[in-house]
Structure 1
Amino acid sequence: MPAPRITMRQLSEILRLKHQAGLSHARIAAVLDLSKGVVNKYVSLARAKGVGWPLPEGMDEAALERLLFPAPVLPGRGAEPDHNTIHQELKRKEVTLQLLWAEYAAAHGAGALRYSQFCERYRRWRALQRRSMRQQHRAGEKLFIDYCGPTVPVIDPGTGEIHPAAIFVAVWGASSYTYAEATRTQSLPDWIASHQRALTYFGGCPMLLVPDNLKAAVTRASRYTPEVNDTYMEMARHYGMAVLPARPYKPRDKAKVEVAVQVVERWILARLRHHTFHSLAALNAAIKDLLVELNERRLQRQPHSRRELFERLDRPAMQPLPAEPYVYAEWKYVKPGIDYHVDIDRRLYSVPHALVGHRLEARITATTVEIFHKSQRVAAHARHGPGAHSTLAEHMPAAHRKHQQWTPGRFLNWAQAIGPATLHVVRAQLEGRPHPEHGYRACLGLLNLGRHYGNARLEAACARGRAIGSPSYRSIKSILKSGLDRARAGVEPSAETQALPLHANVRGPGYYH
C-alpha cells in the first residue's frame, strides 16, 4: 500500500462523517475538499482492517496509521531490527553498525537481513526521528551546559526585596540525564560552583564541557578560536576535562541543552510558578524533588528513562572525580611598578625585582595570591586586608635588603657614637616626615660618607651644616666634597640666619663662606 495521501486527522473525520453522521461519500468529499475516489478508497481500506467509528479504545492517530499503513518490507529476508536499541548502542565507544549487525544476524539466523539492508533500514528509521536525535553523542563524552531564560523570584523575608534566581542546567549528550539548580547570579563564582555541584551529583566527569558563549565561560567568542575564561579552563583541567564552546549563532551545536532547558522550564519551573520561596535553599530543595521525577520519566518515543540510559551508557564511560575538589581561583594580568609590587584589590604584593615592567599573571583564591611569569610561579603570598602590603626579602635588590635591616634606633645609636652634630643631622632626617622610613635613604647616605671621609670629618661637616641651618644629606655631602669642614668648621650663624625659620632647604648666609 502506498503512503497515505491524506492526514490521519482527515481519515478520522472521514470515518466519523461516514459512520456517525451518515453522510454520503459525495457529501463527505465536498465537506473535506477531497475527491469522491479518495473517500471511497479510505473507507474501503478501513473496512478491510475492521476499523469503524468510534475508533477502538486506546487507538490514537499514530496507532491508526500503523494499522492502516504498515512500514514497507524491503526486499530480502525479513526480521526487523530494533532501531531504537541500535541508536542507543551506537553511543557506546567502539560500537559500530557492523558489530550490531553481526549480533543481530547471530540472533535471527536465516531470517536476518543482509548487512546492506540492515544499514539502509536503520538510516531510514533515523531520518524519521526528531532533528535533535540525529546527532551522535558518545557515552561519557559531552556534558552540555546553559541557563534557562526565565528566572525564579526569591523574596527576602525581612525586607520583601525580590531577587531573581538564575536556573543552571547541565545535560549528558548520550543519555539526556539532567541536572538543574538555582543560583543568585550567573557570575563566574556561581558558574564554577554550579559545575562542581553538578559533577558531584553525577558522580563523575565527562571528557568535554560544551557551554554556550556566556561571559563566565568565554572571554572572546569566535567560531574557530574562542578564548575560554582562565578560571573555567583551570577548573576543567583539575577535573580532567576540556572545554569546547558552542559556535556563536549555531543552535545545532547545543541542541541537546536547548531541549533540556525547555524540559526543565516546562516540567519544573512551570510547576513551581505558584510557589513562594524565601531562600535559595528552599527553591533548590523543590527543584531537587522534581528533578528526580524528571529523570525517572520515560523519554518520548523510547522505552527508557534518562536515569536508565545514564546508568547504562554514561556512568560506565565517564571519568572519576578527583580526590580533592577544585579550589576557586580568579586570574588577572598584572604589571609590577618600580617598587616591584603588584596591586590586587588595593593590596600590594611583592614579586622578584627583576620582573619590574613585565606582564605577569596573578592567581587569586580566598586565602592566597600566586604570581606567575611564563607559567612559572615566581611569588606566593597569604591574602590579607585592604591597604596592607606583603614584601618578601628575597624579592628585594641587595641594597634594599640592607635598607630593611635598619631601624630608627639603630641609625640614632650609630650617629651618637660619632658625635652630637651627626646625631642632630640624623635626627633631622628621621623627624618631620610621614614615616621614619622615608629618611632611611638619607641616613644610609650619611653612613657611606662616614666610611669614605672618616667619622671625624663627617662630624665636622655635620657641625657646619647645623651651624648654617642646612642639616641635609646633600649639604653635608657638598661640605665634605669642597673641604669646607676643614676650613671653617666653627662658623656661627648670623643674627639674620637665626631670624629665619629652621628648615632643611634654608641654608643661611654662612653656607656660602
Structure 2
Amino acid sequence: MRVDDCAPGAECQLDFGYLGLLDDPASGKRRKVHALVITAVYSRHTFVWLTHSQTLDAVITGCQAAWEFFDGVFAVIIPDNMKPSVAQADAVNPRLSRGWLDYAAHARFVTDTARVRTPQDKPRVERTIQYVQKNFWAGETFTDLDHAQQAARTWCAHTAGMRVHGTTATQPAVVFAAEEHRHLLPVPQQPYDVPVFKQVKVHKDFHACVGKALYSLPETWIGTTVDVRADSETVKFYHRGELIKQHPRQGAGGRSTDPADYPADLGAYATRNITAQLQQCERYGPHIGLYAARIVDDPRPWSRMRAVYALIGLVSTYGAAPVDAACQSALALDVIAVTKIRSMLERGTETTSPALPRAAGHAPTRFTRDPSEFAAAAAALTLIPGTKEN
C-alpha cells in the first residue's frame, strides 16, 4: 500500500551503497568507495557523501556534511540497520549504539530504523542509490576521494537537485528551498567531536587504561567495570549511566591522577609528596619531624623515603612519645639511622641520657698517671725591690 509522504522537513532516509574502486594516494592501493546517501522524503533532495569505510566516524562525518549542505537537520532519520547506528535490530524496539545515541542527542533528531531486509521501509533512498551509481559514478574518472567528493557535491546541487523527478514531476532542489528548508532544525553551532565508547576495568592501582593512557578513580570503584566516553578533550567514566569521574584527555603513555582519589595515608606516597610526609612526622612530634628532615637531607631525597616510612611505622608500633624521645637522644649524638631508633625502643633506652663515646685505648696502662698529679697550685709571687712587674 502506498503511504503518504511526511510533512516538509520531517524525515530523511539514509543508506550506504557500493560504487566501485578508487586510487588512494595515502596507501598507494585501490580501495572500495561507498556512498552514504541521504534523501529528503518530502522533496527528494539528495546529498551524497563518499567514504572508504562504514564506521560510526564515517557516518557521523557524512551526516555533518549533509546538514551543512541542507542548512538544517531533519527531525527524523530513517537509517538501514547498519552496525554503526544499530546495535541490535528489532521491528518494534531496536537497540541503537551508544555512539549514535550520543550524536542524535547532539544534533537533536530522532532515529526510526527500518526493519531488517525490508527495503520498502526506506524506498526514497533505495531508488536514489541506483540513480547515484548510474548517473554520477558510472563512466567517470576521479583522481582521489577528495576530487570525487567535490564532484558529488556539485552533482547533488545541479544535476540531481535540478532534474525533474519521475514521481513528483518537480525539481527536488526547488521544492526543498521553497517548502522544506524553513521547517528543518538548526544546525548545531558546536562541531561534534566524535567520541570513543568502551568498557574498562579499574585496577588495584586506582587507575583505568583508556587509549593507552591512565586515569585515576576513587577506591570505591576498584575491581569494577565502568563505561567510558572519550573524545579529544575529556574522558568521562560512567556507572549505570551516572557520571562518576572526569579527566582531561591524555595522549598515549600519559597519565591523569587526582590525589583525592587515593586514601589519605597513600596519597602522599603515590604522588611522591615529600613535604606532606615531613608534615605528618612533625605532627607526631617536633623531634620526629626534625629527624625525618635530616633523613631526607640528600641530593636524592626520594631514595631516602623508605627510612621515613620506617620511622612512621615505629610511631604506629610504639607510640609518638617514645619515638620522639628516642629521636631527641639520637639527634644529640648526631646519629641518623632509623635502625638505632628501633634498637633504643626495643631496649627501652629512649629516655636514657646519652653517654659520650670513649676513645680507643681508654684502659689504664703501666705509666698512666692520675690527672691530679698534673695540677699545680698557684705560687705566690714576691716582687723584688728595684724590679718592674712584667
TM-score by length of structure 1 reads 0.57
Once residues 146 and 440 of structure 1 are traced to their aligned partners in structure 2, the CA distance between those partners, rounded to angstroms, is 66
For 2:130 and 2:115, the matched residues in 1 are separated by: 20
Map 1:95-494 onto structure 2 (within 5 A). 134-139=2-7, 140-156=9-25, 160-272=28-140, 275-278=141-144, 280-292=145-157, 293-403=159-269, 404=271, 406-407=273-274, 411=278, 418=287, 442=310, 444-446=312-314, 448=316, 451=320, 453-457=322-326, 471=339, 476=342, 480=345, 483=347
Change (3 A) 1:161 1:328: same
CA distance in 2 between partners of 1:234 and 1:436 (Å): 50
Structure 2 distance, partners of 1:183, 1:176, is 22
Deviation string, structure 1 residues 216-254 (Cα, Å, up to 9, x no partner): 112223333322121211111112111222222222222
Q: In 1, distance between residues paired with 2:257 and 2:154?
A: 52
SS in 2 for 1:145: strand
Q: 1:437 to 1:303 in 2, by over 3 A?
A: farther
What does residue 358 of structure 2 align with? none
Counterpart AA for 1:395: D
Is the CA contact 1:191–1:216 (under 8 Å) kept in the aligned structure 2? yes
Runs of 5+ consecutive residues of structure 1 not aligned to the other structure: 1-126, 128-133, 491-513
How many angstroms apart in 1 are the aligned matches of 2:306 and 2:209? 21
CA 1:201–1:452 in 2, change beyond 3 Å: closer, same or farther? farther
User: Following TM superposition, by how much is the alpha carbon of 1:334 offset from its aligned partner in structure 2, in angstroms?
Assistant: 2.9
Higher strand share: 2
**Which SS does the other structure have where 2:156 is aligned?**
helix
Which residue identity lines up with residue 172 of structure 1 in the other structure? A
Q: Aligned with 1:186: secondary structure?
A: coil
Q: The residue matched to 2:185 in structure 1 has which SS?
A: coil
Per the alignment, do residues 213 and 301 of structure 1 end up closer, same or farther by CA in structure 2, a change over 3 Å counting? closer
Counterpart-to-counterpart distance in 2, 1:384 and 1:338: 21
Question: Offset at 1:380?
Answer: 2.3
- Counterpart AA for 2:147: A
Paired with 1:398 and 1:410, the residues of 2 have a C-alpha distance of: 11
- Residue type of the partner of 2:13? F
Normalized per residue, the structure richer in helix is 1
User: In 2 relative to 1, CA 450–199 (structure 1 residues): closer, same or farther, beyond 3 Å?
Assistant: same
SS in 2 for 1:381: strand
| Larger RCO, structure (CA 8 Å, separation 6 or more) | 2
Q: 1:298 and 1:220 mapped to 2: Cα distance? A: 38
Contact (CA 8 Å) 2:18, 2:33: kept in 1 or not? no
| 1:364 shift after superposition | 0.9
Cα-to-partner distance string for 1:26-61 (whole Å, 9 max, x where unaligned): xxxxxxxxxxxxxxxxxxxxxxxxxxxxxxxxxxxx
The CA distance in 2 between the partners of 1:413 and 1:378, in whole Å, is: 30
Q: Figure out how many residues of one structure are paired with residues of the other and give that number.
A: 346
Alpha-carbon contact 1:145-1:209 (below 8 Å) kept: yes
Amino acid at match of 2:235: V
Q: Is the 8 A contact 1:181 1:287 kept in 2?
A: yes
Distance of aligned partners of 1:159 and 1:181 in 2 relative to their CA distance in 1, 3 Å threshold: closer
Shift of 1:458: 5.8
Q: Which amino acid aligns with 2:322?
A: Y
CA distance in 2, matches of 1:314, 1:373: 42
User: Does the Cα contact within 8 Å between 1:174 and 1:313 map onto a contact in 2?
Assistant: no
TM-score by length of 2: 0.73
